[in-house]
């Protein structure tokens, strides 16, 4: 191992040790599963905002998005980013405050499946069980993508066999998550968001320098047909631009719909201390998302400029282009002691965005198994101590399954994340929106909507999209539409909600109206 790689490793090791120490610290603050999974609803506005967005952005931000921009230009990445930015804002504006209050008044629900069950008074617990099962189905591969990103990082950087690097990274994430729970995950998310931001800035500035400046990057990329256009994408194989149809643009834009159904983001809304400070959280979150995604796409463009300038090699496949930021960090590390520290920061940023998502996903999946399936559905009542052991054991089991799925080093982080994102967006997105805003929705509609949305994601992805043409669109869009229609139709043709459910819905409306809300209240 060279002095350069040893220095970078020391910076990253210090970061990892600090994350574990945070977990140890917060382990003393978990007296029951409510604390472990929701932090006792104690998050402040800054932590709420940055934890929600850091847990959302994952390795996709520093690896997936720049990789897509590098290969095909700004269109696909740009419309995806625009959709995500709008989705972020609308999720905070429409869902955050109402979900925080509604989950508190419906039996103080600490998970999304529990909220659905309480909201519709589902005594059969079928709604709860299906929702919990869907979380596990889509979160396990999502978590696996994070482990894979960490494995690629250490494998490329330190010549460690991929599998060993991936398992070691997973062990660190499991350690602080299982120890500290929600508060540890949220606190580390805030720290990780700061590191991610610093990494984005350092990479973009050094990349511009290595590529010969902004003018060189602009000149080299402008020569590529459709590369810098939002209306066409660049085909690396043919060297030509392909016009993007309205349907394709809408398909990429539809990524924003996924926000309404992300359990690990929604849990941050539920965990905030004061619902009336969510406006500040919304502003912080939206600004950070817009800036970070803009820089991430810029890194992809700068990366191609670096290739044209001979600073780094060329990438031809999605799995390869996702290593762009790692190669930039390696190049930077060759420029002295301070550069080594900066490289360590960049690579820690990749770890940060991966960990900030994986820890949240582990908690959400764990809560679905231990709280919703074991406790609520099967009725196995545990003591506080036993419940905490079950929660931590479940985190470990889910992590082991995710490690198994992440064993292939050639897997594309972007493709795995996009499928899981579609799954949650289609199953939970419409269900959350109708549960919060349509009082005529009922248990049957919610259940049918979730199931149909989940089925349609698989059907469209593996049966319809391969047909090509107008069918080659992101599976989230048709699945979201189908789930929404099913919720409306089934709710209208089946029995209306009880007077108790209607009264509770109307009470939430009154509580959140300007006329009745107490700005100082913390509910």
- The domain segmentation of the chain, as residue ranges, is 3-410
- For the entire predicted model, the pTM comes to 0.82
Residue of 361, 326, 318 lying closest to 346 (CA atoms): 326
What letter does residue 467 receive in the DSSP assignment? G
**Per-residue model confidence as pLDDT tens digits over 67-106:** 889 988 898 889 989 998 999 999 999 998 999 999 888 8
Banded pLDDT at 440 (limits 50, 70, 90): very high
Give the pair of three-digit tokens for residue 148: 């894979």
Average pLDDT rounded to a whole number, residues 190-214: 85
- How far apart are alpha carbons 400 and 393 in whole angstroms? 11
**Per-residue model confidence as pLDDT tens digits over 384-432:** 677 767 777 777 887 888 888 777 776 666 677 788 889 989 999 999 9
Q: Quickly list H helices, 73-161.
A: 74-90, 97-105, 112-119, 126-158
| CB neighbour class for 464 (10 Å; exposed up to 12, middle 13-18, buried from 19) | middle
The whole-number pLDDT of residue 26 equals 66
- How far apart are alpha carbons 188 and 177 in whole angstroms? 10
Banded pLDDT at 516 (limits 50, 70, 90): very low
The whole-number pLDDT of residue 162 equals 85
Which residues, listed in sequence order, are joined to residue 242 by a DSSP beta bridge? 233
- How far apart are alpha carbons 81 and 480 in whole angstroms? 19
The whole-number pLDDT of residue 521 equals 40
Which residues, listed in sequence order, are joined to residue 272 by a DSSP beta bridge? 43
Average pLDDT rounded to a whole number, residues 9-28: 74
Give the pair of three-digit tokens for residue 52: 């929600």
The answer on pLDDT for 353 being more than 50 is yes
Which range has the worst mean pLDDT, 28-37, 336-345, 410-419, 456-465? 28-37
Average pLDDT rounded to a whole number, residues 285-312: 91
CB 353 within 8 A of CB 18: no
The answer on pLDDT for 518 being more than 60 is no
Would you put residue 381 in left (φ > 0), alpha (ψ -120 to 50) or beta? Answer: beta
- How far apart are alpha carbons 200 and 350 in whole angstroms? 10
Dihedral (C-alpha) 201, 204, 209, 212: value to the nearest 10 degrees? -160
Q: Which CATH class is domain 3-410?
A: mainly alpha
């Amino acid at each position: 191992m060279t002095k350069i790689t040893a220095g970078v490793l020391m910076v990253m090791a210090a970061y990892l040790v600090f994350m574990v120490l945070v977990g140890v610290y917060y382990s003393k603050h978990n007296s029951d599963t409510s604390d472990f999974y929701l932090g006792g609803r104690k998050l402040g506005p800054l932590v709420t905002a940055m934890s929600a967005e850091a847990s959302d952005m994952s390795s996709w931000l520093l690896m997936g998005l720049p990789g897509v921009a590098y290969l095909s230009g700004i269109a696909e990445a740009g419309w995806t980013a625009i959709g995500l930015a709008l989705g972020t804002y609308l999720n905070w504006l429409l869902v955050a405050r109402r979900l925080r209050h509604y989950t508190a008044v419906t039996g103080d629900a600490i998970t999304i499946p529990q909220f659905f069950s309480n909201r519709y008074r589902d005594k059969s617990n079928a709604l709860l069980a299906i929702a919990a099962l869907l979380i596990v189905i889509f979160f396990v591969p999502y978590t696996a993508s994070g482990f894979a990103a960490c494995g690629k990082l250490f494998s490329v950087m330190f010549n460690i066999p991929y599998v060993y690097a991936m398992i070691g990274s997973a062990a660190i994430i499991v350690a602080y998550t299982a120890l500290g729970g929600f508060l540890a995950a949220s606190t580390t998310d805030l720290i990780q968001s700061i590191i991610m931001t610093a990494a984005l800035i350092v990479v973009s500035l050094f990349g511009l320098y290595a590529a010969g400046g902004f003018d060189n990057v602009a000149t080299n990329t402008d020569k590529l047909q459709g590369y810098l256009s939002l209306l066409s994408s660049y085909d690396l194989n043919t060297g030509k631009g392909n016009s993007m149809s309205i349907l394709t643009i809408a398909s990429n834009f539809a990524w924003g719909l996924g926000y309404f159904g992300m359990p690990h983001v929604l849990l941050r809304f539920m965990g905030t201390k004061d619902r009336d400070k969510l406006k500040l959280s919304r502003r912080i979150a939206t600004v950070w998302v817009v800036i970070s995604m803009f820089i991430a796409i810029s890194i992809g463009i700068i990366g191609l400029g670096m290739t044209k300038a001979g600073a780094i090699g060329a990438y031809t496949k999605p799995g390869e282009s996702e290593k762009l930021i790692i190669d930039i960090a390696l190049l930077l590390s060759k420029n002295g002691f301070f550069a080594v520290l900066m490289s360590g920061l960049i690579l820690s940023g990749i770890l940060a965005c991966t960990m900030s998502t994986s820890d949240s996903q582990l908690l959400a999946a764990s809560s679905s198994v231990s709280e919703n399936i074991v406790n609520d559905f099967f009725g196995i009542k545990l003591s506080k101590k036993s419940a905490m052991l079950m929660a931590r054991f479940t985190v470990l089991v889910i992590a082991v399954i995710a490690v198994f799925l992440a064993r292939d080093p050639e897997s594309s982080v972007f493709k795995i994340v996009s499928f899981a994102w579609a799954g949650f967006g289609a199953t939970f997105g419409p269900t959350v929106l109708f549960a919060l805003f349509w009082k005529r929705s009922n248990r049957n509609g919610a259940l049918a909507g979730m199931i149909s949305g989940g089925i349609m994601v698989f059907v469209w992805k593996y049966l319809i999209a391969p047909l090509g043409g107008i069918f080659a669109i992101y599976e989230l869009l048709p699945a979201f539409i189908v789930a929404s229609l099913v919720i409306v139709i089934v709710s209208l043709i089946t029995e209306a909600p009880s007077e108790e459910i209607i009264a509770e819905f109307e009470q939430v409306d009154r509580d959140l109206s300007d006329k009745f809300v107490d700005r100082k209240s913390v509910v």
